[in-house]
Amino acid sequence: MSHYRSNLRDLEFNLFEVHRIQDRLDAWSDLDADVARDILREVERLSKEEWAASFVEADRAHLELVDGEVKLPEGLKRSVDALREGGWDRLGLDAELGGIPVPPSLFWAVEEMLLGGNPTAVFYSGSGLFARVIFEEGTEEQKELAKLMLDRQWAGTMVLTEPDAGSDVGAGTTKATHLEGLMYHLEGVKRFITGGEHDASENIIHLVLARPEGAGPGTKGLSMFIVPKYLINDDGSLGERNGVVATNIEDKMGLKGSTTCELTFGQDRPAVGYLVGGVHDGIRQMFRVIENARMTIGTKSAATLSTGYLNALEYAKERVQGADLAQATNKAAPRTEIIAHPDVRRMLMIQKAYAEGLRALWMEAAHYQDLVAIDPTDTVSERRSDLLLPLVKGYSSEKAYELLALSLQVFGGSGFTKDYPIEQYIRDAKIDTLYEGTTAIQALDLFFRKIARDQGQTVAGLASEMAEFVKGTSDGDAFVAEREILGRILDDTQAHLGVMVGHLMASMSGQPKEVYKIGLHANALLESVAELTIAWLLLRQGEVAASKVDEDPFYVGKVAVARFFVSDVAPKVSMRRQAAEAETGALMDLPIDAF
């Protein structure tokens, strides 16, 4: 039986009842609510069956690099083939490219199920993103390459990280020497490249950041190049092997079926690359890939916590152990399912609230992406989506990894075994807090780029909507108390942000070390902004559900989740504010030897 437990009901609730995607589907031809639901149901089936079938096999297989090549487990390749045969690798792409246009929110709903069912396989089937970037950023000739990528189902990779640079992308030293036209020779070593080498596709198209000779330092001196594993002949057939070779494959804690490689360019033969679009605009171009990857990781985190929780819930309903606590002194009392025990219920409700909260968070970001897709001039929605992205990636990855431990705890000792999928979920999830920018990088991005550089306009607009929601009580309102709590959470978060802005102003006015205080509390600010936002979103969901509680227990759960989450996060947000206000910066004055 499949390990994967989907939550299609909640996905549909978010799409059709909260965000009412059906009201704007006419912007996508040949798509209506029935077709959208059919897509979701078929991908749910695929995710549970052929797709999830290789989840364990991919983890147990020991991948080896032999003569620069890696052979994947046959079951994993069958899973990838099943996705491609269904045409699902084309979902969300423009028709001009050969894709199936759908709203971003529907695309990400599909991605949640695929990422929950088999995240490893996703990394071998994501060529659509790379094809789209090449198509939209490339020359006319490169646009044809993008179409060829889709038609031939070639894989793609994002190649940024270098051994000595790490997350400091601007410190990269990979060199690009100009030959003629858009053709360059690349020399250097890249590390931690997902899907850098495998046999799930006949060709791999690497998108590589490198520094052309004579270019300046930092990220502004980087350009983006198309570097195929096999060179491509004029008729689209494969030519000789290019000079990009996997020289190491990482032995990892999790996602073991995903080849994470060291790639060496120009070692034994020239590595031919082609300047994307004929312009030296690499970091902007690559950020289109990076931002999509960050959304992917946030959605993956939400998906993994959701299936972890649902596996734990299923087990708790079936596992019989101990008597009801109210009859603990009665030795003859019947044994009960563990879901009757208070501590198990507490753990399950925490998982449910945060799993559904993380889904609400990425769905809100995707909703704004829908609006931008309909009207590219909608800068308000574009900035809202940008503001939420570090929350989706940073907060979701941290919280999912933390709470998967509760999923395992519900199983007791059985959860620590490989009989159940939770231990693999935990190992596979840890990387989410690390790659595509660590949580600290997401937090600094939130504060410096999404709030300070924007002069607080976008976050102020979001806070204004929340404040209106807090005031929106009426007779018969089911959430009077929760609105009041949300108001306090909003006040505490704004006060925390105010403290951080004060440190920033001081650092710019002759006290440069004040910026350290921002670094010490940036992660905490990210957590509070995320929890404030999720509390607001879940209360909005609760409003939709409150009038339907007699129809379906699902809606009862929605109301309960909203109330629980708001009460759970309020004291945490308050404590983070107090910690930020009390910060002295003494930690940064501590001698290194004291550590």
CATH of the domain at 99: 1.10.540.10
- Measure the N-to-C terminal CA separation of the chain; round to a whole number of Å: 49
Same domain, 127 and 209: no
Q: What is the pTM of this model?
A: 0.96
165: three-class secondary structure by DSSP = coil
Q: Is residue 595 part of a domain?
A: no
pLDDT at 477: 83
Mean pLDDT along residues 190-208: 97
Alpha-helical segments (H) within 375-395: 379-390
Q: How far is CA 289 from the centre of its chain?
A: 12
Domain boundary among 280, 295, 327: 280
Alpha-carbon gap, residue 394 to 95, rounded angstroms: 33
Which neighbouring-strand residues pair with 66? Answer: 69
Under 8 Å between Cβ of 384 and 38: no
pLDDT at 411: 98
Q: Is residue 414 part of a domain?
A: no
Mean pLDDT along residues 561-575: 98
**Residue 164 reports pLDDT greater than 90:** no
Confidence of residue 30 (pLDDT cuts 50, 70, 90): confident
User: What is the tens place of the pLDDT at every residue in 460-505?
Assistant: 999 999 999 999 866 668 899 999 999 999 999 999 999 999 999 9
How far are the Cα atoms of 280, 413, 586 from residue 217, in angstroms, in the given order?
13, 53, 34
Q: Is residue 230 part of a domain?
A: yes
**Rounded to 5 degrees, what angle do the CA atoms 392, 87, 155 make?**
70
Q: Is residue 354 part of a domain?
A: no
pLDDT at 84: 96
Report the share of the chain in percent with pLDDT over 90: 96
CB-CB neighbours of 78 under 10 Å: 15
Same domain, 578 and 448: yes
Sign of the dihedral defined by the CA atoms of residues 406, 407, 408, 411, in that order: positive
Domain boundary among 114, 133, 152: 133
177: three-class secondary structure by DSSP = strand
Q: How far is CA 100 from the centre of its chain?
A: 22
Under 8 Å between Cβ of 347 and 354: no
Domain boundary among 256, 280, 304: 280
**Residue 577 reports pLDDT greater than 90:** yes
Same domain, 574 and 449: yes
Tokens of 463: 């806070």
**Residue 29 reports pLDDT greater than 90:** no
| Closest to 542 in 3D by CA, of 480, 463, 471, 460 | 480
**Residue 216 reports pLDDT greater than 70:** yes
Tokens of 167: 């997350």
Q: Is residue 87 part of a domain?
A: yes
Same domain, 466 and 503: yes
Same domain, 455 and 518: yes
Q: Is residue 314 part of a domain?
A: no
Same domain, 90 and 147: no
Contacts of 582 (CB under 8 A, 6+ apart): none
pLDDT at 166: 84
DSSP assignment letter at 415: G
Q: What is the pLDDT of the chain when averaged over all its residues? A: 96
User: What is the tens place of the pLDDT at every residue in 339-363?
Assistant: 999 999 999 999 999 999 999 999 9
pLDDT at 112: 98
Q: By CB neighbour count within 10 A (0-12 exposed, 13-18 middle, 19+ buried), where does 61 fall?
A: middle
262 catalytic residue (yes or no):
no
pLDDT at 19: 98
Same domain, 120 and 190: no
Same domain, 576 and 456: yes
pLDDT at 476: 65
Domain region containing 232: 139-280
Residue 246 belongs to what H/E stretch?
Answer: strand 244-249
CATH number for the domain harbouring residue 195 = 2.40.110.20
Question: Structurally, how many domains does the chain consist of?
Answer: 3
User: What is the tens place of the pLDDT at every residue in 93-139?
Assistant: 999 999 999 999 999 999 999 999 999 999 999 889 999 999 999 99
Residue 426 belongs to what H/E stretch?
Answer: helix 422-429
Under 8 Å between Cβ of 468 and 460: no
Alpha-carbon gap, residue 517 to 515, rounded angstroms: 5
Contacts of 150 (CB under 8 A, 6+ apart): 89, 90, 93, 97, 98, 99, 127, 128, 131
Under 8 Å between Cβ of 37 and 12: yes
Same domain, 122 and 157: no
Confidence of residue 7 (pLDDT cuts 50, 70, 90): very high
Question: 50, 112, 197, 436: which is the annotated catalytic residue?
Answer: 436
Amino acid making up residue 315? Y
Q: Would strands 204-212 and 175-180 be described as parallel, antiparallel, or unpaired?
A: parallel
pLDDT at 391: 98
479: three-class secondary structure by DSSP = coil
Alpha-carbon gap, residue 69 to 202, rounded angstroms: 12
Alpha-carbon gap, residue 464 to 458, rounded angstroms: 10
Q: Is residue 347 part of a domain?
A: no
Same domain, 119 and 172: no
**Residue 62 reports pLDDT greater than 80:** yes
Same domain, 56 and 190: no
Mean pLDDT along residues 181-197: 97
User: What is the tens place of the pLDDT at every residue in 348-404?
Assistant: 999 999 999 999 999 999 999 999 999 999 999 999 999 999 999 999 999 999 999
Phi, psi of 159 (to 5 degrees): -120, 95
Same domain, 119 and 210: no
Under 8 Å between Cβ of 303 and 11: no
Mean pLDDT along residues 219-242: 97
Mean pLDDT along residues 29-45: 96
Q: Is residue 537 part of a domain?
A: yes
Exposed e or buried b for every residue in 168-177, given b needs 16+ CB within 10 A? ebeebebbbe
222: three-class secondary structure by DSSP = coil
**Rounded to 5 degrees, what angle do the CA atoms 40, 43, 45 make?**
110
Mean pLDDT along residues 66-73: 95
pLDDT at 1: 83
